[in-house]
Every structure is written in structure tokens, then in C-alpha cells.
Structure 1
Amino acid sequence: MRVRHFSAILFSGLTSTSPLACRQAATNTSAAPSAGATPGTSSGSGGVDMAAAILAIMPSSSSCSGAQFPDECRAAQQAAPFITKACADLSPGECAATVALMGLESVEMKAKHNISPGRPGQGTANMMMPNFVSQYATSLFGADKVAGKSPAEVLSMVTPDEHNFGSAAWFLATKCTADVRASLKTGTDAGWAAYNKDCIGVNGSLPERMAYWTRAKAAFNL
């Protein structure tokens, strides 16, 4: 299994988009939750204010004001309740890693679907490839609800916020080995490296990826 990370140079795998292209994204029309939603905390958040942690990891997520395509964008405070729920069964280290990944892959929550090369059906906050999107949708709704739908239709099932922000946690729980998860629980660079290499399929030491992880470690007090 491989993933693509956000760069003008695309890597082979789970995700693929460039930051510029994502900032030009627009197709998802799910309604944005109230910006006044209460962030809350969970076992996965380690007691931190999730909205503040997201903002620290994704500096541009303070607001969607002026966003070219607001239906794709979520601010930190809007996403916080959903990410808090997704992290409920994760350790702080695992939660931090999934938030860092989402920040990178969605251009800080500016996009919910792949823009470049425009692969139909690829998306969610961690930009899963269509096969994983289909598996995720099946886990949520059952195979009978997914059967016969196009990749784009299946993606639309999981891009409402309550599912979109749970995709990275689902992927970690279902696609990462116990050894990777144990390493991530340490909250170390070694855990991040193992998560990227052995679960996502990319080099976690790439500068852009390390920048998100470094901010995540600080935000989650790791």
C-alpha cells in the first residue's frame, strides 16, 4: 500500500494532490457545522483543547473567511468535535499523527476530494484512494448501500463532516499493524516514521511531513 503526499511532484499511493490545486477545489456540498461548536476533549486528545491543537498544527485553519470554495473548507473549531470523536479510542500519539496527516493531505482542511490529477472517488480528510474510500463506506453503511455506486458517489457518502474527519482514525485502526500503533503511542519521531513508512507508504522524514508532525507533538504535549 502506498500514498501520495501534497507536493507538486506526486508520489504513488493512497493520496494525490498539490496544495495549489486543492486551494482551487470545489465539488463537495455538505453543509458546514456551526462555527460555535464545542471542541471537547477525549482520551485521544490527551486532555488538550482540540480546536486549539488543530489550529496549532494547521495554522491556516483559523477561519474559512474568504475561501474560494467554502463548501470544501472547515475551520479548526468546526472540525474539532468530529476529530475529538474520531480520536476517542486512540492514544494521544495516534491522535496527533492522524491530525498531522489530515492537515497535510487536505491542505489544512481546504479540500475533501482529490483535485490533481483529479481522480474520481479519492478523498476524505486524509485523501484515501477510492478502494479505501469504498471499504470505509462499507464499514459505515454496509455493502448493499455501496454496491453499484460510482467512485464519486461512494466518496459523497463519506464526506459529510461526521464521516470525513473519522477516516484517518479508521485507516489507522484497520490498516496499520499493532507494531506501528505501539510505536505511534510513544509519540516519538520513530513512531511517526513507522506510521508513514509501514502504514501509509511514504517517507515520513520529508520536510513537509515532519513540519506537521513537529507541530502536532507540541500541540499534544508529546
Structure 2
Amino acid sequence: MRVQHFSAILLSGLVSATPLACRRGGATPSSAAPSASPMPGTGSGSGSDVDMAAAVLAIMPSSSSCSGAEFPAECRTAEQAAPFIEKACADLSPGECAATVAVIGVESVEMKAKHNISPGRPGQGTANMMMPEFVSEYATSLFGADKVAGKSPDEVLAMVTPDEHNFGSAAWFLTAKCTEDVRASLKTGTDAGWTAYNQDCIGVDGSLQERMDYWTRAKEAFNL
């Protein structure tokens, strides 16, 4: 499995692993965040007249607040995350963007964590909870191999968990790791596209009820 899904364990209160040290006391949302605005209705971008903050909140209902979050330094609300997600979706179709937001929702427990909590795998994290080898590839694509070489998995993860990088990880994974056939299927905005994205790209069963629930809300939020 390429992406370790942990939300069911976290929500059931069965987590016993110590959180990764690299994110304790993590950064607060950047004051220089790009402003959220309705997404354009035409062109090659995410392509529908969607208020991203409202869409993220509809997909992740608990993202209205970080009150009571177990890792408050890592938690982000829909309003905080929306500008970064919108930027990440600039070159994606509405179906692709909706799918990446749905994956973020299910993998990060609605943006409550940026690191793997159970089993506490060092170096696993970002908004879509990528495995360490993909985190390393993502960091290399952003900063260059020389900046990543010699760093521990946790140190590499820390490079890509600031908001401007963290919320771009799902879009990066889709464009870097998914085939053109999967992307074409996702662009249809159908359940078949979602299933192919999960099974053939991420390596999980997209028909699982929890994942389908996020996708159903994403379709509605993006008017698919």
C-alpha cells in the first residue's frame, strides 16, 4: 500500500504511537497565504465556480475549527487550508481537484495531522499522508537532491509540512505517480474514476465506505 490510511484508528481512540518529534510545536499558518477566491469557471485549471473554503468544509465537516485537536500545531481549518489547496489545484480538472481534496480529508483526518500517527512510521506524512519514499521524492522536486541528501526521514518530512508545501502534496502525487488513464478517468468526475485513482494509483480500495463518503461529498461540493 503506497499511502498508509490511519484515520479509522485515530478516530476510534486506539492510537498509542508517540507523535513524530519533527512536528511537535510546528509552524502556524503563514500570514502570507494567498487569498482564497472562487475558482475560475473556464480554462485548464480546476475549472468550476467553487468557493474553495466552502468546498473543503463541505468535504471535511470537522474542519470548521481546530478546537480540541490532539495536535493543534498541525491542525488546519478549511479557511486556512483553502488558499493553498486552490493553488495546488490550478492545473487540475475539477474531478482531479475534488479527488485530491477527498483524499486529504480521509488521510489526514480532516487536516488534524501532518504526520503518521499509527504505527508512527518515521517520515510518513503531509496532507495526503505519503509514504517516506514519496515524501523524499516530493521534497527533492521542490528543493533539489542536494538539500535532501543526508537528512533523516523526519527531517525530510519537516521540509514539506509547512502549509505552502503540505497542501500541494496530493496534487503532486497525482501528477507524478498516476497514469494518464487514471487521470482521464478522474476527469469524468465519476465513481469509476475515483475507484481507479484509489486502486491503481494510491494502492487502496476506493470502494470502502469511509473513502466513498468523502468522495460523495467532494462530488457535491465541486458540482460534478
TM-score, length of structure 1 as denominator length:
0.90
1:18 partner letter: L
1:202 alignment partner in structure 2: 204
Q: How does 1:1-222 map to 2 (within 5 A)?
A: 2-6=2-6, 8=8, 18-19=10-11, 20=13, 21=15, 27=24, 29-33=26-30, 38-40=35-37, 41-42=39-40, 43-44=45-46, 46-222=48-224
Unaligned stretches of 5+ residues in structure 1: 9-16
* Separation in structure 2 between the aligned mates of residue 28 and residue 198 of structure 1, nearest angstrom: 36
Report SS of the residue matched to 2:127: coil
TM-score, length of structure 2 as denominator length:
0.89
Give the direction of change, closer, same or farther, for the CA distance of 1:7–1:156 in structure 2 (3 Å limit).
Answer: closer
Report SS of the residue matched to 1:18: helix
Report SS of the residue matched to 1:204: coil
CA deviation vs aligned residue, 1:103-154 (integer Å, no higher than 9, x gap): 0000000000001100110000000000000000000000000000000000
Deviation at 1:214, TM superposition (A): 0.2
Give the paired residue count.
Answer: 213
* Separation in structure 2 between the aligned mates of residue 29 and residue 2 of structure 1, nearest angstrom: 25
1:13 alignment partner in structure 2: none
Identical-pair percentage: 76
Give the direction of change, closer, same or farther, for the CA distance of 1:196–1:115 in structure 2 (3 Å limit).
Answer: same
* Separation in structure 2 between the aligned mates of residue 212 and residue 45 of structure 1, nearest angstrom: 20
| Residue pair 2:7, 2:109 contacting (<8 A) in 1 also | no
| Residue pair 1:45, 1:95 contacting (<8 A) in 2 also | no
CA deviation vs aligned residue, 1:28-67 (integer Å, no higher than 9, x gap): 5112235x97322253152200000000000000011333
* Separation in structure 1 between the aligned mates of residue 133 and residue 47 of structure 2, nearest angstrom: 29
